[in-house]
Structure formats: C-alpha cells, structure tokens
Structure 1
Amino acid sequence: MMLPRVLFVTGKGGTGKSTVAAAIALALSHRRPTTLADLDRRMSAAAALGAMPENSTPIKVTESLDVIALTPRAELEAFIDRIVPIRAISRRMLRSRTFGYVTAALPGLEAFLLLERLRIMAGDAALEDRYLVIDAPASGSAVELLSVSSGVKGIAPAGTLNRLADSIDGFLKDATRFGAVITMTPEDLAVREALETAATIRERLGVVTVAAIMNCVPDLLFDTSELAAMSPLGGHARLAVRRNCAHEKAALVAPRFADAGISTINLPMMFTPAIGRVELEKLGRVLDAKLIGR
C-alpha cells in the first residue's frame, strides 16, 4: 500500500516510539519534504534529531526536514486568538474562571483542537507534496486522543463543533491521508498491547494501521550447542539466552500481525548509550527499504 500523507506513530511506553518516529521522518525526508510533529512533552524525537522547538514554529533540521512542537493547550490558545483577535481580551479570557468552567464542561476540547490542527497540517502537506510524521502519545493516550471527535459529536449534535468533528472523523478514516504505525519490543506485554491497539483503532475508530514496528531485535549470535557450552559462565550465559529468546520471539510475532492484515518490520537493537543522527540514519535505511520503498 502507498503511505498515507500522515503517519501517526504510537506504542507502549518504552518501546522506542519517539526513536522510530524520528527515524521515519528522517528516512522520508530523503525522498520528500517532511515535517515531524512532536506531541511528546519531553520532545524526545525532536531531541534525537538535534532540534528543540519551544513553540509551534517549525525548526529546520535539514533542507527537507523540519520539526514542530504541538500541545493541546497551545492549540486551545491559538483557537481563542483566532476567534478573539484582540490579544489582551483573549489572554484575559483564557485566564478567567468562567472559561475554565467552559473547558471543563467540554472534556477533550483541547485534544479536539489539536486533531483539527493536524487535519489542517495534513491538507497543507498534500498541497506541498510533503509528509507529516507525528510522534504521538503512548498507545493508551493515543486511543483517547483519536476518540475525541466522537465524544465531541455526542456533546454537540449540531453546529460548528459537530461539523469539525465530522471533518476530523473523515480525515482519520481516510487511508490515503492518515495511518498509524505501532511500535513494540520482543516482550509479551508490548506485543499484546500493540495487537490490542491495532484492533481498537481499526474496529472502533476506522483507522488503518500501516505497519507494526518491532524495535530492538538482537541478532541471533549463538546456536544451541554454543549456549550449552556457555552455561558455566553464569550471568553471561543467561544474557546470551535472553538475547536468543528475544530474537526468536520477534520471529514468532509477524504471523500474528499478518493474520490482522498488518505487516511487521524488525529494527535492530542499537548498542549505544544514546540515539543520535548516526543511529537514526541506520534505522532509517531499514525503514526506507521495508516501509517507505516497499
């Protein structure tokens, strides 16, 4: 399948979601102009690329790659600024207790406006022939974010918010415009959560999963006889066994996702204390061959 214009990267915490998002953005940028939208407050993906945006103004990483930081609160403030163009009044409105009551009465309003911003960015990306990669929240929070428009339609069955919610739903369900990439590691809990996330967003929200990324897959270094010979080495032998088990477990996962119509891509374990541009380029080459150029 062709890649959608927007790739929404999510996964269980600790599975390398931000690293994968940064590597995908870097790999895509070698083919087309690309924007990485970092929704993570820690901005891990942006930091791995050497960029630390402080607001919604894009920062250039390379000639064809920029990074932007987006937060639900900032999108709410930008929305108020658009409808109340006198800044002194809009700032006072945001600080008022009454406005706090209004936002509390509309749960998910900030996240809803964040989704609307992503929809607008996706439209701009299509016009400019660029890609948008989103370093999204971890899977549980990501499902909540993607579900917001349905909640808004329940609160506002007619009017402007309802029309915006319809537009967002159409955007999320359009496989040419939006798709999820789900990260995991060779661990039972991470694999189970990835499968559950893919099923939830497909069946409940109509969102397609472009691929499942198995991160941190170690090479198979020893055969059975070599492992047996290492048994007197204690901790070293146990580490070798764990590495072999992780490799073998990763190989067993692909058929489970294939049954759900999802391809699995394995990324190698990076034996480095930190992830930077060099490591991202190595991961990006794997992603370019198996995800982008397939």
Structure 2
Amino acid sequence: MSDWSKVRLHVVTGKGGTGKSTVASALALALAHRGANVLLCEVEGRQGIARMFDVDPLPYEERRLTTGLPDDDGGRGVVHALHIDAESALLEYLSMYYRLGRAGKALDRFGVIEFATTIAPGVRDVLLSGKVYEAVERNSRNKGAIQYDAIVLDAPPTGRITQFLNVGGEVGGLAKVGPIKTQSDTMMKLFQSPRTAVHLVTLLEEMPVQETIDGIADLKRAKLPVGGIVVNMVRPRDLSAENLAAARAGTLDREKVESEVKAAGIEVTPVLIDGLLHEAAQHAERRALEDEQREVVRDLGVPTYELPRMAGGVDLGALYEFAGLLREQGMA
C-alpha cells in the first residue's frame, strides 16, 4: 500500500510479455474517477491502446476514449488516449516554440524530420518524453488543450526505461547550453520528482522478476522515482496448501478424485484420472515456483499489487475488473 495521490505522471514499464499495456490501461480507468480527466498515452508505435479498447488506430491527437471506473455514487471521470510518434512531436515542438508551422511541414516533406530523429542517438526518446512532459505541464502555448489530473504512460520495456526518461543524459551529448538543454533540465525535474512514479509490471517467474530487480536498481541510480510493482497474471488459489503438497508429492487420494469426478456426472476412466493427477502436479509445482518469486518481490520493499490471470483473455470488461482491483489495493 502507498499514497500516489500527489503523482501526476504514472509511468508503466515491464519486461515484454508481462502485460504492461493491460496494466497501464487498467490504471487509467482506475484513476478516472470523481470527474477526473486522465490521459493514457503510448510511445512505442504498436497501437496497443487501440487494440486494447477495440477502437480504430489512434492518430497523433488526444481523443476521448471511454469513461473511468464509477465511484460509489456512480460518478465517473474520462479517459483520453494519445498515440505519440517522434516526427509529429517534433513538428508540434517547432510550431509551438519556433512558430515553424508551414515551414515545419515543408521540412517533413523533404525528409528532414526523419533525418533529425534518426541521425542522433537519443533524440527520438527525447521528443517522445517531451510530449509526455507537455501533457503534464500544460501552458498557454498549447491553447485550448485539456488539463489532465493524471497521465498514464504505457512506456518502453524495463531494459530501456531509464534511458528513455533520462533526457538530461541524452541531451547532454547533443547540447551543453541553449533552449534545448534548458528544456531537458526542466523535464528532468519533473521525471525525478515525487510527481512522477515509475511502476513496474512483472510475472511470478524468474526472468521477469530479475529484470524488475535490475530495473529498480537502474532507476535508483538515475534518481528516478520507483513506484509500485504490479504482479500480473497470478494463478488462482483453488487448492489448499495440504492438497498442493500432496499433488507435488504424487500422493493425492486417487479414489477420492475418482468419486468426485463421478459425482460431477463425468465418466471415469484411468486415462482421465491420470491426466487430472498430472495436471494437479504441474499446477502445484508452478504454484510453488510462484510463491518463491513472490517472496523475492516482497523483499524488494516496494508497494506490490496483484492482478489475476484471465482464462478467457483480456477484454474491456476485464480491464474494468482490473481497475477495480487496483483501486481496492490502494493503487488509485
């Protein structure tokens, strides 16, 4: 448990395959309550938000996506979505700060924008994170823009997240002084402040947990604020500790299993019972490994939240269910 009420920017990262996009979407739904406006944005070009919510691919434009999880009195906030790409972010930056409207688009036609975002390492990440910063720190340059109560970023994977947010280091190799350096320093003040939290998504498996450990260490070295750990796809706890131990040891009461299968109206065969006992043993072994990794995560001393594995996959209904669980556990 922790208090994230002062956080404006929730960065969600995790090893590929852990479900960070699912967690980011659920967190946005959970935060959009009591009339709050929440922006859910992505920067990896995968259109994950569109697929998650089953809508058309998103442009570089903030769009109303859905309503958030209802409050006890039925009130809801609103979730908006934004797909950020580096080229569009650079054009917007040139327009807002250097008034290069049509001239910027001309540069784009000549391929200068693509050149600028690929020739210098780190420029692309600076542009992407710069748009995230702009969404948090709205000013008069972006006239008529929505003021958001919270921003949720579906961020790059754990292995890249420190580099992505460490814009000061990236820009340091490009500009020692000037407006770009000044703006990158301002961005770092936000990213390193208590108004930002970097949440990590993991599974109860050795590799994702180890990557989470390494990610936390990297974030701390860069003085970036570590948020919570969301343990995703947790298996159900349908068997007692006694039955799990018996399943692992291969000592489950075969006759009892047969009688219960028969009571369920299913024809009992030796092959069926053998298969059930084998599945039980595998499930028990997996649960034991998960319990070991849960202890490793717990020892990290970081607020931890859990979301269950959905046998039928994740749809919009599941996202709202996850949002409710995150709120019940104190993440939103």
1:69 partner amino acid: H
Root-mean-square deviation (Å) = 2.5
Aligned residues of 1:25 and 1:133 also touching (Cα < 8 A): yes
- Count of aligned pairs: 285
Residue 226 of structure 1 and its aligned partner are, at CA, apart by 4.3
Aligned partner (choices 159, 162, 169) of residue 140 of structure 1: 159
Counterpart residue number, 2:233: 216
1:77 partner amino acid: L
> Which structure's residues are more often helix, by fraction?
1
Aligned partner (choices 275, 280, 287) of residue 237 of structure 1: 280
2-side partners of 1:220 and 1:98: how far apart?
Answer: 56
Does 2:196 correspond to 1:196?
A: no
Matched-pair identity in %: 22
2-side partners of 1:268 and 1:93: how far apart?
Answer: 48
Unpaired segments ≥5 residues, structure 2: 68-77, 140-145, 255-272
Aligned partner (choices 64, 70, 79) of residue 93 of structure 2: 79
Structure 1 stretch displaced more, 214-223 or 127-136 = 127-136
1-side partners of 2:50 and 2:87: how far apart?
Answer: 19
What is the TM-score with the length of structure 2 in the denominator?
A: 0.77
2-side partners of 1:44 and 1:104: how far apart?
Answer: 23
Residue 59 of structure 1 and its aligned partner are, at CA, apart by 2.2
Counterpart residue number, 1:68: 82
Residue 245 of structure 1 and its aligned partner are, at CA, apart by 2.5
Structure 1 stretch displaced more, 102-111 or 70-79 = 102-111
Aligned partner (choices 1, 4, 23) of residue 2 of structure 1: 4
Please tell me whether Structure 1 or Structure 2 has the larger radius of gyration of its CA atoms.
Answer: 2
2-side partners of 1:159 and 1:85: how far apart?
Answer: 18
Aligned partner (choices 309, 314, 318) of residue 269 of structure 1: 309
2-side partners of 1:221 and 1:144: how far apart?
Answer: 41
2:188 partner amino acid: D
2-side partners of 1:264 and 1:136: how far apart?
Answer: 19
Counterpart residue number, 1:12: 15
Counterpart residue number, 2:37: 33
2:135 partner amino acid: M
Does 2:298 correspond to 1:255?
A: yes
2-side partners of 1:62 and 1:100: how far apart?
Answer: 33
Counterpart residue number, 1:42: 46
Residue 147 of structure 1 and its aligned partner are, at CA, apart by 2.3
Q: Which deviations, in whole Å up to 9, do the C-alpha atoms of 1:154-208 show, x marking residues without a partner?
A: 3211101110111011011111x2110100001111001011111101222x111
2:229 partner amino acid: A
2-side partners of 1:170 and 1:186: how far apart?
Answer: 33
Residue 198 of structure 2 aligns to a residue whose secondary structure is strand
Distance 1:84 1:107, change over 3 A: farther
Aligned partner (choices 11, 21, 24) of residue 21 of structure 1: 24
2:206 partner amino acid: D
Aligned residues of 2:135 and 2:148 also touching (Cα < 8 A): no
2-side partners of 1:105 and 1:53: how far apart?
Answer: 28
Residue 115 of structure 1 and its aligned partner are, at CA, apart by 1.6
